[in-house]
Each structure stands twice: as C-alpha cells, then as structure tokens.
C-alpha cells in the first residue's frame, strides 16, 4: 500500500510539473548572432602538403565582437579547424573534406559567429587570395605583420586574422 501511494504521488508530481511554465525572467535572451555568409571554399585536394597553423581571429559586426584562437590542421584530404575561446576552451570545430563541411559547436548553444564563416574567412585569407573587393563582396587587406583584414558589407561583419605560428612540412 505504501509503495502504491508513493507511486501515485510521484506520477502526480511529474504531471503537475509538466504544466508549469518557467517565469519569464528565466527564458533565455536571444543573443546577437551573425548570419551565415556564403562564399567559396578551395577543395582540400588542391591544398598542398600537411601542416598546422595557429592564428587568432577577431570578428566584429552588429552587436558582435568575438575573438577566437584558431588551430588549423591539414592532413591528407582533411582540413580541421578548431576555434578556442579566450580561456582556451574548445568553442567549435569544422571539418572539411573536398568542399564538404561539417561543423560542431562545443559550447552547447548557437555561437555568435557561425564556424562556417570563420572557415570561409580562413580560405579567403590563405587559399583564395584575391584582394579584389568584387570577389564575393569581400574586401581583403594584408598588413606587413602578416595579419589579414576582411570586410564584407553584404554579410554585415569584418574579421581580422593574425598569425601566431605555422608548422609546415620541411
């Protein structure tokens, strides 16, 4: 009898909680987020050698100012881009084979900057080095220190990639 009473009380509690709405203050606010910005990718088969690049990227747009450490590794036909938060936590990863892309957010929420945008900007800076503002609506400027600034009015943001280190095959 005691077991049946506990079971009934448990079921009643679950059913009661199923209909309770959280207070409005607990509903998460919609954080600003950049839109996905299309652009070309160079097929990984056309990227020579196996290598590792460590860079920093800063992305600024409407109500967005984000910075990530980037680790990019190319091995065979696979390119992997890992974005790190300023604290060194893995924020996202993007894998590219050929021109196919898979991404994953590690923070459990939509990121303010789509990882695919970061990959496209990386391609624009290193592999599709056309400094023509007419090329996919992006203006590319290269500085003497090796940093690359990419501005895209149509996408509503600009990014700056700055090298940290490159480990290319010898």
User: Which has more pLDDT, 83 or 7?
Assistant: 83
Instruction: Identify the residue whose tokens are 């290269």.
Output: 142
pLDDT at position 39, please? 87
pLDDT at position 30, please? 64
Tell me whether residue 157 is in a domain: yes
Residue-wise pLDDT tens digits, 23-63: 544 444 567 888 888 888 999 999 999 999 999 999 999 88
Instruction: Identify the residue whose tokens are 């600003």.
Output: 32
Tell me whether residue 9 is in a domain: no
CA distances from 43 to 58, 66, 115 (A): 25, 27, 17
Does the pLDDT of residue 115 top 90, yes or no? Answer: yes
Tell me whether residue 82 is in a domain: yes
Contacts of 84 (CB under 8 A, 6+ apart): 68, 69, 70, 71, 90, 91
Tell me whether residue 56 is in a domain: yes
**Rounded to an integer, what distance in angstroms lies between the CA atom of residue 117 and that of residue 50?**
23
Tell me whether residue 16 is in a domain: no
Q: Can you give the pTM of this predicted structure? A: 0.77
Phi, psi of 16 (to 5 degrees): -65, -40
Question: Which residue range forms the structural domain that includes residue 84?
Answer: 44-167
Does the pLDDT of residue 151 top 70, yes or no? Answer: yes
């Amino acid at each position: 009898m005691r077991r049946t009473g506990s079971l009934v009380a448990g079921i009643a509690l679950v059913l009661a909680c199923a209909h309770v709405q959280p207070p409005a203050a607990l509903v998460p606010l919609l954080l600003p987020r950049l839109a996905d910005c299309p652009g070309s990718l160079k097929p990984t088969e056309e990227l020579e050698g196996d290598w590792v690049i460590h860079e920093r990227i800063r992305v600024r747009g409407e109500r967005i100012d984000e910075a990530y450490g980037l680790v990019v590794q190319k091995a065979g036909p696979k390119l992997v881009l890992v974005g790190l938060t300023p604290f060194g936590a893995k924020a996202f990863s993007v894998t590219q084979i050929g021109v196919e892309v898979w991404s994953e957010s590690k923070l459990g929420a939509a990121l303010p900057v789509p990882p695919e945008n970061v990959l496209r900007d990386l391609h624009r800076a290193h592999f599709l080095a056309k400094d023509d503002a007419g090329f996919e609506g992006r203006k590319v400027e290269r500085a003497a220190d090796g940093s690359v600034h990419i501005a895209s009015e149509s996408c509503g943001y600009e990014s700056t990639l700055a090298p940290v280190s490159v480990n290319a095959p010898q």
